[in-house]
Amino acid sequence: MSNVVPFSNRRQALEHKQQQACVWLVKLDAGASEEELRDLSAWLGEDPEHPRILLEVAGMWDQVSVLAELSEIFPLGQYVKARPGKPGRRKLVAALAATLSVAMIGGGLAGKNLDSWRTLFGAGGNKPRRYETRVGEQSTVVLADSSEIILNTNTLVEVLYREAERRVSLLRGEAHFSVAKDSLRPFRVYAGANVVEATGTAFAVQRMQEGGMEVTVTEGAVNVSHNPGADVVEPASETPTREPVAAAQPMGPLSLSAGESARVSEQNVATEKRRMQPMEIEGRLAWRHGMLLFQGDTLEQAIKEVSRYTSIHIEMDDAVKDIQVVGYFRTGDIDPLLRTMEETFQVNVQRIDDDHIYLSYK
């Protein structure tokens, strides 16, 4: 079978080669196998333009170091002119830089194409992609493999795809994950010292203010395990740091299937695991549709949940904390809830100032 692909003009052929180079660079960045390296060597030898285009794309992605690190096992040096007096990897880096300075002249891969390929294959070197919502916001992110993350209010996640793992760090807040099936690359959500792993399923993870997390599975199954050495990139630094973990005897891996929920402490001790009815799960995750559903929750519990979506500070007298609340309310809009308290339960809503409310019986 011929490997020749017909193209109507030279520009179209060049764009195809640039796309191939993008794919090869992503594979190298993710950690190419020996078989992939052999295939890449064959691709480089197919066309004298292939090495130049690969170098050009590496320069535009700022990924020359990826090629340099492979200089001892990767035969790219034969395609570039080495500078004298620079041994080993340093010689290849210098040669690459010289070649790139020429290759970049006259254009190359358009920025629009570069962005689309980076998005499709999850490129971006060793730096994770960061997605964040502010208080009261929700956002949906579609990842490179068609997995989807719905971020709830005040949430921060970092995504880093590699050959052997699809890694998401939930640094704060809550998110729902719909995971595309990939048996060779597990999808792992790191939340503090705990890890939730799936290959193809749907589940939500919330980091609790008091520590630990809550996991709710809506489809398929997940495993929850302990990872006290979890690397987490803090917002103020690009250097991985370690979150402190108190000494404790963690449980073994915890399996959860669709319809189950569990709260897990920072020391990976399950404090609560239970099966939920479909309507209860729908209510628990109604925030995905911009709503909050209360089904007999106490006013104290309802206000705690509502407070996640607003900067307004709400306090209450002990006498009203146990009032049961039933109904749908839009996230971030506390006025309907307060009106219900006033009209139905004779609760006095005292607006101390624009950012402070106190609830008590009339």
d(CA 354, CA 316): 16
Q: Is residue 1 part of a domain?
A: no
Q: What is the CATH number of the domain that holds 237?
A: 2.60.120.1440
Identify the CA nearest to 220 among candidates 166, 181, 175, 170. Answer: 181
What letter represents residue 271's amino acid? T
* CA angle, residues 306, 193, 310, in degrees to nearest 5: 15
Say whether both 151 and 227 belong to one domain. Answer: yes
Nearest to 149 by CA among 157, 140, 161: 140
Instruction: Provide the residue range defining the domain that includes 242.
Output: 126-276
Whether residue 3 is contained in a domain is answered as no
Q: Are residues 140 and 258 in the same domain?
A: yes
Residue 215's φ and ψ, nearest 5 degrees, are: -120, 130
- How far apart, in whole angstroms, are the C-alpha atoms of residue 196 and residue 226? 9
171 and 258 together in one domain: yes
Which pLDDT score is estimated for 193?
86
Stretches where the chain sits below pLDDT 50 are 1-8, 70, 72-125, 231-250
DSSP state of 146: S
Same domain as 198, residue 108: no
Q: How many CA atoms lie within 13 A of 273 on its CB side?
A: 12
Query: Is residue 341 a part of any domain in this protein?
Result: yes
| In a domain? residue 281 | no
155 and 99 in a single domain? The answer is no
2 located within any domain: no
Spatial strand order of the sheet with 221-226 comes to 129-132, 156-161, 166-172, 187-191, 194-198, 221-226, 254-257
Amino acid 343: pLDDT: 87
Last residue of a domain, one of 92, 119, 146: 119
Nearest CA to 255 among 278, 224, 277? Answer: 224
Q: Are residues 139 and 103 in the same domain?
A: no
User: Where a domain ends, among 253, 276, 299?
Assistant: 276
CB–CB of 27/36 below 8 Å? yes
Helices (H), 208-257: none
Could you tell me if residue 62 is inside a domain? yes
Summarize pLDDT for 43-69 with one digit per residue, the tens.
Answer: 877 888 887 777 776 665 555 555 555
Give the Cα separation of 334 and 324 in Å (integer). Answer: 16
Strands 148-151 and 221-226: unpaired
pLDDT of the residue at 121: 42
Domain end marker among 103, 119, 135: 119
Distance CA(254)–CA(224), nearest Å, equals 5
pTM for the predicted model, two decimal places: 0.61
- Straight-line distance from the first to the last Cα atom of the chain, in angstroms, rounded to the nearest whole number: 85
Q: Could you read off the pLDDT of 84-131 as tens digits, one per residue?
A: 443 333 443 343 333 333 333 333 333 334 343 344 444 444 578 899
Same domain, 64 and 158: no
Does 283 fall in a domain?
A: no
Both 67 and 138 in one domain: the answer is no
Kindly list the strands in the beta sheet with 260-264, ordered across the sheet, starting from the edge strand earlier in the chain. 139-142, 148-151, 174-178, 202-207, 213-219, 260-264, 270-275
| CATH number of 355's domain | 3.55.50.30
How many structural domains is the chain composed of? 3
Structure tokens at 12: 């179209």
Do 255 and 138 share a structural domain?
A: yes
Residues 188 and 214 in one domain: yes
Are β-strands 166-172 and 187-191 bridged in parallel, bridged antiparallel, or unpaired?
parallel
Helices (H), the chain: 10-30, 34-46, 49-60, 64-68, 88-103, 111-121, 278-284, 299-306, 335-345
- Per DSSP, the residues of 247-300 read -------EEEETTEEEEE-TTS-EEEEEE--HHHHHHHTGGGGTEEEEEEEEHH
235 and 308 together in one domain: no
Regarding whether 218 and 304 lie in a shared domain, the answer is no
C-alpha to C-alpha distance for 109 and 54, rounded to whole angstroms:
11
Residue 5 lies in a domain: no
Identify the pLDDT of residue 359.
95
Surface-to-core class of residue 208, CB atoms within 10 Å of its CB (0-12 exposed, 13-18 middle, 19+ buried): middle
